Amino acid sequence: MSTDTLLNVTVNGDSRRVGAGATIAGMLRELGIDPKRVAVERNLAIVPKSTLEDVPVEDGDQFEIVHFVGGG
């Protein structure tokens, strides 16, 4: 894969590279994360869960991903 097809993003403080054209949900799956079980903040704004499949990842995006944990 050439570097022209990769985007540089930050996920929870770590630099990552993801394929150009990926949506946030696609990026999460690529990272082994179930999009249904997390909350996502992109560039300091919460991304509604209903839009994760539609919002494209852009070069330089900064993501904070919080996992939901069940308890009892």
Any idea which fold 3-67 has? Ubiquitin-like (UB roll) (3.10.20)
**Phi, psi torsion values for 24, nearest 5 degrees:** -60, -45
**Beta strands 62-67 and 45-47, pairing class:** unpaired
Q: Is the pLDDT of residue 72 over 90?
A: no
**Residue 70 pLDDT level (bands cut at 50, 70, 90):** confident
Model confidence pLDDT, tens digit, residues 3-56: 569 999 999 999 999 999 999 999 999 999 999 999 999 999 999 999 999 999
pTM: 0.87
* Domain residue ranges of the chain, discontinuous segments joined by +: 3-67
**Residue 1 pLDDT level (bands cut at 50, 70, 90):** very low
Q: What is the pLDDT of residue 21?
A: 93
**Phi, psi torsion values for 70, nearest 5 degrees:** -85, 155
